[in-house]
Structure formats: structure tokens, C-alpha cells
Amino acid sequence: MGISNTRFGLGGVNLVKSPLKLDPSEGTQFQNAELRPDAAIGGEDVLCKRGGFAALTSALAGSVIGFINWSVKTTFTRTLYIARGTATSATFATYDGSTLATTTTPLVHASFLQYVDENNVLDARRIAAFRGLLIYAGNAYTKGTDNAPIVSFDGTTAYTITSAPPSPEAGTNQVYAIVDALAANGKIYLAVHEQGDAAPDNSGRVLSLDIESGEMQQVCEPFGTGAGTQQSKGAPSCLAWYQGHLWVGQNHENNTDGIGKISRCIPGVSTTWIADVSDLTGSVSSLAVYNGALYAGTQSSVSAAEKVYVRSLTANTWSASFTGVGAAGAGHVTSLCVYGSNLYALQYHSTAPTIHIKKWDGSSWTTDRDLDASDSAVAGLLPGSMVTFGSDLYAVIRASSATATDGFIMKLSSGTWSKLSTGNYAGGLAVLTTRA
């Protein structure tokens, strides 16, 4: 009987087994040894003596007494970009941590008018930052005639990458709006709202975009009640990546009690969405992962207030973590964002009105900033997005129209909120990292 030793060393060092019970590929010590590909056996690794430094004394007429680490100089620059409306030619505001400016270089973010045919204030509408690019919904299209464009910006040049194609199930119906963008799993995921079914079963899909290849694919089946298999109870409104799944909050665009729904899938593996919960009190406006659990901000319904729900880590069920101020379909909680050891959210309700920044520390919810009392937030202004930039947290409140200048940016630094700027802000913001 022979013993094969062609894989000797590939099993590494094993000091637990008795030497007589070692696998033929294992050993008790391999100092000064390394594995190298051997062309003679098809490129498989074989055990070899580790090479040393070549002698330099003759060439240099001396001896090597040390080495210097000479690193390649690379400068990374991080800039906060805040989408503006259409009041002027400036498309974005920029902030480097000390100076606020405006720029006309990026393409315009989709304006308020591109969202009027769906629940235009309650979807996430985020900008995705991915591999030195900002990816977001463009504004250069006629809704109902053209498909919503997807644009990118690398800090220097702006492009229209492509447009979201119409759903095969919807025939020639166009994509009304791109309502959320998420960078996850090496791709960009886009939630789109389409012409087609009316509330409470709005049409929509989730698309995946591979930035390197430009390939765009539909993730699982569409949302709506058209032909074939479709998810009911609303079009996708917000996205999250959690436990290896893509999660989708749905917007049914009315205030019917108890039909709030969240679905999930494994992109590239699943062929249909799994309804994880379908009886939340209202539509879902925001999703975020905090302390290992998934949270969802929802809208109010006829008889229930806006809420934040949390999914149990053990029972996989949903329960209310926060309950807002009133019902009648006039409130929502959005822009869930983790900052430090806390979860933050923007809460709105038309009563009073109420526009608050809420904070959850894992045990209790508090109002971290009363925007209507302290910062002149009024009924015409609505929550936008939140993001961490450097060591601070930023929140945007949208202007009251595409050309209004009453929106504003809030900054949380060292535990204190302050108003950074007032202007023509559309609600989206993201941090762009460029390399030089």
C-alpha cells in the first residue's frame, strides 16, 4: 500500500492530533516553508522552502542595515452633497466640514413634480454612494412619456447611465419615479414606481444595477395586481440589506388600517418575494438595521398613528417600538439612520404641525430636536434624508416646493443640533469619496 504525498503541507500545522493520526496533508511544523503553484501538476500548490533575500553586498559594496516603507501617496476626499430643487442653476450644495457651497456640475435630482402621481412625500428617495460615485434619480424626463433616468456623478463628471425600463407585465406603461436607491451586495438596488394599478396595489419593481457591467435586472416578481405572480399591497418605497436578504417596504398610497407590508428575497437566488409581514398599521417609509435588528418607520392610517416597528431577533415577528401623535393618515416616520450608539428618525404629523428628530437609545424614544418649535419648520416642509458625515449627523428638511428656498439642513455635532443652512433643498444627501 502506498501513501500519496502530493498534497503534503496543504493541510497546515496540526498540534492536536497524535503524529500517527495526522492526515497525509498535515504536519507538526513547517517553519521556513511556503506553498507555491507547480505547473507540472496543473498549477496545484506544493510545499517549498521559503525564499530569502538575494545578497546585495557585492552590488552595493556594503550591507543592508534597514528598510524604509515608501508608501504610494493617495488622497481621499470626502464631500457631503445635498440635492437642490430647480430654483437656480445650482443642482447640489456641497459641504467639506467647514464650508458650504453650491455647484452646477451634477445633474439635477428628480424634482417634486416627478413624484406627484404617487405618494410623493413618503418614499425614501435616497441617493446611493458607491465606489466613488453618487447614483440617484435624474430629472430630465417627461413623466408618463419617458422612463425615469438613472444618473451618476464622480465628483468631476455627470452621466445619465440608463433609464429604468418599463415592466414586461405592464406593457408600455412607463416608470413614473425612482423612489429609493441602496448600495448593497456589490450592486445598486433601485425601487421604482410605475403606471398601472391604483392604490392600494400600486405597480412597481425592484431593479439591480451592476455598475461595472452596466447590466440591469429585475429582482423577483413585480408589485401590483397585473397578470402573473405579483406582490400586492403597494409598490416598493424603501430598501434595506439585512441577514443576506434584500428587504422592501411597500407603499399602498392610502390610509387603510392594517395593510402595511414588508417583503424580502435573496437576489439572484429567490424568484419570488416572501411577505415577511403584511399587517402593519400603515405603509412603510423607511428601513434600517440597528443593534442587529431591523426597524421600519411607517405612516399613520385611519385609526392608528405613525409608528416605528422592530423585528424580533428570536421570534421573527414585528412589534411597535414607537407610536406617534395621531391618526387620520397625516403622519409618518422616515429617514431611519444609525449614528453612534443611537437610532435616529424624522417624524412628521400635520397636527400642530409636528416635525421632530427622534432618538432611540435601545431602551427609550426621546425628541432630540423639536424642529417646528426651535427651527421654524412648518406644515409645508417635509422630512428628507439623514446621513453621517465625518463625526457628525446631518438631516435635511425639504423645501415646500421645487423652487422654494425654505428647506434647511440640520447638523448634530458633539451632542448639539444647529441649523447649517436654509435654501432650496430637495431632500436627498450623500457622502461622495473621491481619490487623487
Write the CATH number for 210: 2.120.10.80
Tell me, yes or no, whether 46 and 138 share the same domain: no
The pLDDT assigned to 2 comes to 46
Do 255 and 118 share a structural domain? Answer: yes
DSSP H helical segments within 78-128, as ranges?
none
**Burial degree of 215 (CB within 10 A; 0-12, 13-18, 19+):** exposed
Same-domain pairing of 131 and 254: yes
Asked if the structure places residue 17 within a domain, the reply is: yes
Q: Are 157 and 266 found together in one domain?
A: yes
Q: Quick one: 186 and 259 in the same domain?
A: yes
Last residue of a domain, one of 246, 265, 280: 280
**Is there a contact between 163 and 152 (Cβ–Cβ < 8 Å)?**
no
Round to whole Å and give the CA distance between 119 and 350. Answer: 15
Q: Does a structural domain hold residue 227?
A: yes
- Entry pTM: 0.82
The reply to whether omega before 19 is within 30° of 0 (cis) is no
Look at residues 245, 260, 280 and tell me which one is the last residue of a structural domain: 280
Residues 44 and 120 in one domain: no
Q: Which domain holds residue 29?
A: 1-52
Residue 102 lies in a domain: no
Q: How many domains does the chain have?
A: 2
Q: Is residue 188 part of a domain?
A: yes
Residue 124 sits in the same domain as residue 24: no
Q: Taking Cα atoms as reference points, which of 144, 146, 126, 145 lies closest to residue 136?
A: 126
| Domain match, 34 and 121 both | no
What single-letter DSSP state applies at residue 373? H
Q: Are residues 47 and 120 in the same domain?
A: no
Torsion of CA 165, 169, 173, 178, to 10 degrees: -50
CA distances from 288 to 71, 206, 285, 299 (A): 38, 18, 11, 16
Beta strands in 200-252 (DSSP E): 204-209, 216-218, 235-242, 245-251
The pLDDT tens digits along the chain (436 residues) read 444 455 666 667 777 777 777 777 777 777 777 777 665 555 566 777 776 656 655 555 666 677 777 666 678 899 999 999 999 999 999 999 999 999 999 999 998 888 876 555 578 899 999 999 999 999 999 887 888 999 999 999 999 999 998 877 655 567 889 999 999 999 999 999 887 766 667 888 999 999 888 889 999 999 887 666 688 888 999 999 999 999 999 998 888 899 999 999 999 899 999 999 999 999 999 999 999 999 999 999 988 999 999 999 999 899 999 999 877 767 899 999 999 999 999 999 887 678 999 999 999 999 999 998 898 877 678 889 999 999 999 999 999 888 999 999 999 999 999 999 999 999 999 999 998 7
The verdict on residue 44 lying in a domain is: yes
Pair 272, 132 in one domain:
yes
Q: Quick check: is 66 in a domain?
A: no
pLDDT given for residue 217 in this prediction? 93
On whether both 267 and 119 belong to a single domain, the answer is yes
Radius of gyration of the chain from its Cα atoms, rounded to whole angstroms:
27
Q: Residue 410: inside a domain, yes or no?
A: no
- For residues 334, 339, 343, 347, the Cα torsion angle rounded to the nearest 10 degrees is -30
Amino acid letter at 115?
Answer: Y
Cα atoms found within 13 Å of the Cα of residue 193, Cβ hemisphere only: 32
Q: Is residue 207 part of a domain?
A: yes
On whether both 173 and 274 belong to a single domain, the answer is yes
